[in-house]
Structure 1
Amino acid sequence: MDAIDEKIIAELSRNARISHAELAHRVLLSRNAVRQRIDRLERQGHIRGYTIVRDEDSDTGDFVSALVLVYRQDRMRGGEVLAALKRIPEVVICEVLSGDFDLMVRLEARSLERIRGIWEDIAQMPGVSDTVTAFALSRVINRSRKARSEESEP
């Protein structure tokens, strides 16, 4: 990645819907060159997706959150479970754990029914031996990575 790639990523971080023409103007490249760089950044994994970020003020509480702790049948060869979880858009975090559980999966969905459906899908995945699910009742602290890094700056 070079400095122009960094500028492209910074602009897309501010506004993922920016047109290629506007982005090209901002980074002083042609529209086609910007498109090619974005395609390359996606292939290389520097850009892994585009998402919606809602302001805290606009949050109407219409999402249900749950943690699903997953036991895999084979910890060392459980890649198919991880691949399947990556395809579920409501999976917002998936972390490999030490200790009793293998994975911690955080789900956010619009309804309890959707969470239940995802939980059933996870429980039936080949390679999953058991799950434990806990629903979030309320959110007391919600710090984004960006907010945490800004707090630590002098």
Structure 2
Amino acid sequence: MDALDRKILAQLEGDGRLTVTELSERVGLSLSPCHRRVRALEDCGVIRGYRAQLDARSLGLEFAALVFVTLTGSKAVAEFEQAVAALDNVIQAQRLFGEPDYLLHVVVRDLSAFQRFYDERLTTLPGMHRMTSTLVMKDVVANRPLTAAMAG
């Protein structure tokens, strides 16, 4: 991956709806080579797809929480991960080194919806040993482009 590929990626991260013509103009490359580079980045998995970023609050999902989970043991990992993947309100789940074992980012409509989700869904997950949560006050950095991290 060279500097031109990184420029292409930065432009697409900023606006995934760019046409190849617009993209080629922005990165200073003719149409065919630009298209080939984009296709190569897609084929090798650097570009995994294109999608719209939605605003949770505008969709009525005004409550966010971070839930930290510690499992009873390593035997429960696969079953726990499969169960978490089936929970639509968990918008991100990460396995961590050390304790806790997992960090879940949960979005719901309000506090009472979170309480129901916590009591009825999260506490019933397989292998659960301990769970703590904290409420998200506000997003300070969200959806930062990965190309920004590559530059650092």
TM-score past 0.5 threshold: yes
Could you say what the CA RMSD is over the residues aligned between the two structures, in angstroms? 4.2
C-alpha deviation, 1:90, in angstroms: 4.0
- Distance of 1:144 and 1:17 partners within structure 2: 20
| Contact 2:11/2:23 (8 A) holds in 1 | yes
Q: 1:142 aligns with which of 106, 123, 140?
A: 140
Q: CA deviation at 1:70?
A: 1.4
Q: In the alignment, what sits opposite 1:132?
A: 131
Letter in 2 for 1:2: D
Pick aligned residue for 1:37 from 23, 40, 44: 40
TM norm structure 2: 0.58
Shift of 1:73: 3.7
Q: Name the CA distance, whole Å, in 1 between partners of 2:39 and 2:51.
A: 17
Structure 2 unmatched ranges of 5 or more: none
Indicate if the aligned counterparts of 2:84 and 2:90 stay in contact, CA closer than 8 A: no
User: Aligned equivalents of 1:118 and 1:22: distance in 2?
Assistant: 46
Counterpart of 1:104?
103
Cα deviation for residue 136 of structure 1 reads 1.7
Superposed, 1:11-26 pairs within 5 Å as 11-26=11-26
**Partner Cα distance (2:22, 2:115) in 1:** 39
| Mapped contact 1:72–1:130 kept (Cα < 8 A) | yes
How far apart, CA to CA, are the structure 2 residues paired with 1:80 and 1:49?
Answer: 30
Instruction: Indicate the percent of aligned positions where both proteins have the same amino acid.
Output: 22
- With the length of structure 1 as denominator, give the TM-score of the two structures: 0.58
Q: Provide structure 1 residue ranges, at least 5 long, that are not aligned to the other structure.
A: none
Establish whether residue 52 from structure 1 lines up as the match of residue 50 from structure 2.
no
Q: Which has the higher contact order (CA 8 A, sep 6+)?
A: 2
Once the 2 structures are TM-superposed, how far is the Cα of residue 110 of structure 1 from its aligned partner?
4.0
Is the 8 Å Cα contact of residues 96 and 102 (structure 2) preserved in structure 1? yes
- CA offset at residue 135 of structure 1? 5.2
